[in-house]
Amino acid sequence: MLVEMTKIEIVGSRELLPAVLQKIHEFGCLHIENISHQKKSGNYVIRHVALDQAGQNKKSDLESSLVKISSMLDSLPARPDNPELTLKQKNQADQAWNDDNDRFLEEVRKIVISSEETLRELNKEKKSLLTEQSNLARYKTVMTKVAPLAGRMVALENYDSMALLVEKKFANLIEIIRREIDRITENQSHIVADDVDENTIAVLMVFNNKYARQVRSFISGESVNEVVVPENLRSLSYDKALGQIEKRLQQLPPRLKEISKQLNKMSESLYYTLLTKKEVLQDKLDEFDVLDQFGTTDYTFLIMGWMPSKDLGPCKESLDNTFGETIYLQELVIDEAESENAPIQFNHSALVKPFEPIVQMFGTPRYGTVDPVPLVAIFFPLFFGIILGDMGYALILLAISLYLRFKKKDNPVLQAVSTILLLSGISSFIFGFLYGEFFAGLGLNFAVILGAPKHIEILGLGLPWHRRELLIPTLIFAIGLGAAHVVLGLILGMINARRAHSTKHMLEKGATLLALGALAPIIFAMITGFPNDLTTPGWLLLIAAIPILVYSAGVMGPIEVLGALANIVSYARIMAIGLVSVILAETANEIGGEFSNLALGILVAVLIHALNLAIHVFTPSLHVLRLNFVEFFGKFYESGGIPYKPFKRRGGET
């Protein structure tokens, strides 16, 4: 259900605003309404709340402290969640702020001064060593390929060398490079090349160093990669440089391990303290940030907002106990237009709550309208089960649901998915029983072999209901279900219109219902060819409904009736998609039974059943969402609501 909201106004002396705001923040139930754009409240001229110099200085101190604390937290290894310890430290930090906020900020400064520099230096060194380690590993890989070539060449005085790596697809470049280097150096050069792997050729050049600039300029324009030796190793030969790199790579891990150990030790002592102080600093900055949403006069402040009606009494009592008669909290009487600005808060059971995000994909419902979430929680699993309708598939869905519920307890999204799968699986199992489907007819065949009857009768209904054989009755059932769903949507639309005192909308929904009721016997007579006693009254009712539709919805009103009929017919997809699932499941059994090798036949059947289940979990979900969002919601749903966002503290409990 949608929680009932009350609009309130809080008025008090200007100097009490910070303390009142802090109390409201602690209580955490007021959805603040921005009144900074208003010019008057009753007989009083109100204006924007502006910070004085002292307030600006305090805000600046908070922002500076928050930046430093956040930076330190980001530099520390994260600790596992510990809600009990965090809440305890948060309460202590809150109390420290309330007792003396200047002393609290001084404590923050002391923590920063004592630890920030050490933390920064450790992270700086760690980053530098990791970068060096990565670079050296790359150099080692490349130089391992080049060093064997260097060993085949004699180092000469006044001669320079250059190593290149050439992709094999550019192997023709080597001869071009050889000729061009000979020309540049006037034949004072020597080049060797060899394969280093299936994709790369290593090339080593030795040339008179007086031509070094021209050689390097030429090489830079070709499709080759020069092997650049680290600066501190450039004076060494390739094999010696490689040895130094390997030696350095062995030295780095122990130091990195020591740095990590020091950082972990600092995290153990600082992490939760910094985290709770960060939350307090953010809370206090939030109180500064919302000030510009309030109003002031020369001597008073004015706060307006919404809160759940059930919280009004406790909130007023809390403020009265703290401030007595120095402030005034008043419940405001609002008109219908203003009630549309009331924020929306859902209050649903654990089985319904997972469907809230699904509904909010379509927008937040407007305050005062019918809550659509419980309706989706009913019709989504119902339609899903009617479509899938297989006990075997249902058991798989239930098993997945239980796995997510017990193995993924820390993931709220997967917990919500598990609930939806649970309800959809139960619905699929029930309809699977009615259809007599357990991996299509496989289960029924085994049951008959074991002595179960082929048919039973419950309340006059013969079971199992073979969907593949009873196509017309199944189609009629699907369309009848669609008619009931659309009619319910129109009735809910009338309820919403009545709540909004919108006579035209109420007449529109009512006339559409009347027209659909009038068309039912007319369409029946057209399809069956059998006239009935209701045909004439149907035409009379339809004629009566048309002027009402034109008056309430304009010339498009009668056309909307045809749209509603099309919506009802579109529920035939329930039958069609379910029939595809049955056929594919039966095909899996038939193909599996064709194999002489039992194990192979079972494997093939299982794979096809798995494909069928995957298809008919996602496909029905999409179509069921369409039936709810388009055919159903279109008759009553009014979006545009404002989500309830109370001004409350971060972390811990409110």
Of the given ranges (39-53, 449-463, 507-521), which has the lowest mean pLDDT? 449-463
**List of residues 6+ apart from 573 with CB closer than 8 A:** 478, 623, 627
The confidence score (pLDDT) of residue 170 equals: 82
CA distances (Å), 51 to each of 282, 293, 472, in order? 18, 13, 74
Q: How confident is the model at residue 486 (pLDDT cuts 50, 70, 90)?
A: very high
More confident residue, 142 or 295: 295
The confidence score (pLDDT) of residue 383 equals: 93
More confident residue, 535 or 615: 615
Q: How confident is the model at residue 492 (pLDDT cuts 50, 70, 90)?
A: very high
Distance CA 89, CA 59 (A): 23
Q: What residue spans in the chain does CATH classification 3.30.70.2170 cover?
A: 1-47+294-345
pLDDT in tens, 341-377: 889 899 889 999 999 988 888 888 888 888 999 999 9
The confidence score (pLDDT) of residue 453 equals: 54
More confident residue, 440 or 255: 255
Query: Residue 560: how many CB atoms within 10 A of its CB?
Result: 19
- State the pTM of this model: 0.71
Q: What residue spans in the chain does CATH classification 3.30.70.2750 cover?
A: 156-236
Name the β-bridge partners of 543.
Answer: none
Find where tokens 């709550």 sit.
353
Q: What is the residue-averaged pLDDT of the chain?
A: 83
Q: Are 380 and 355 in contact (CB under 8 A)?
A: yes
Token pair, residue 384, equals 């899903």
Q: What residue spans in the chain does CATH classification 1.20.1460 cover?
A: 50-140+240-290
The confidence score (pLDDT) of residue 440 equals: 79
Token pair, residue 591, equals 């193909």
Check whether 149 has a pLDDT greater than 70.
Answer: no
More confident residue, 453 or 98: 98
Q: Are 439 and 589 in contact (CB under 8 A)?
A: yes
The confidence score (pLDDT) of residue 229 equals: 60
For residues 462-490, average pLDDT = 86
- The fraction of the chain above a pLDDT of 70, given in percent, is 88
More confident residue, 139 or 186: 186
The confidence score (pLDDT) of residue 381 equals: 93
The confidence score (pLDDT) of residue 260 equals: 92
User: Could you tell me whether strands 642-643 and 343-344 are parallel, antiparallel, or unpaired per DSSP bridges?
Assistant: parallel
The confidence score (pLDDT) of residue 652 equals: 47
DSSP string, 11-75: EEEGGGHHHHHHHHHHH---EE---TT--EETTEE-EE----HHHHHHHHHHHHHHHHHHHHHHH
- The fraction of the chain above a pLDDT of 90, given in percent, is 17
Check whether 628 has a pLDDT greater than 70.
Answer: yes
Token pair, residue 213, equals 């600039």
pLDDT in tens, 212-237: 888 888 887 766 666 666 666 656 66
The confidence score (pLDDT) of residue 173 equals: 84
pLDDT in tens, 276-305: 888 888 888 988 888 888 888 878 888 999
For residues 404-430, average pLDDT = 90
CA distances (Å), 566 to each of 260, 319, 540, 630, in order? 67, 57, 22, 11
Query: Residue 269: how many CB atoms within 10 A of its CB?
Result: 11
Of the given ranges (12-21, 256-265, 293-302), which has the lowest mean pLDDT? 293-302
Match domain 50-140+240-290 to its CATH number in 3.30.70, 1.10.150, 1.20.1460, 1.10.3470. 1.20.1460
Q: Which class does domain 1-47+294-345 fall in?
A: alpha beta
Distance CA 115, CA 266 (A): 8
Check whether 399 has a pLDDT greater than 80.
Answer: yes
Find where tokens 């085994």 sit.
446
For residues 156-163, average pLDDT = 72
Q: What does the H/E/C string look like for 119-164? A: HHHHHHHHHHHHHHHHHHHHHHHHHHHHHHHHCCCCCCCCEEEEEE
For residues 88-115, average pLDDT = 80
pLDDT in tens, 571-610: 998 888 888 888 888 888 878 877 778 788 888 888 888 8
For residues 615-623, average pLDDT = 83
The confidence score (pLDDT) of residue 127 equals: 92
For residues 46-60, average pLDDT = 80
Of the given ranges (144-158, 339-353, 496-510), which has the lowest mean pLDDT? 144-158
CATH 3.30.70.2750 matches 156-236:
yes
Check whether 649 has a pLDDT greater than 90.
Answer: no
Q: How confident is the model at residue 162 (pLDDT cuts 50, 70, 90)?
A: confident
CA 31 to chain centre: 24
The dihedrals phi and psi of 325, each to the nearest 5 degrees, come to: -90, 10
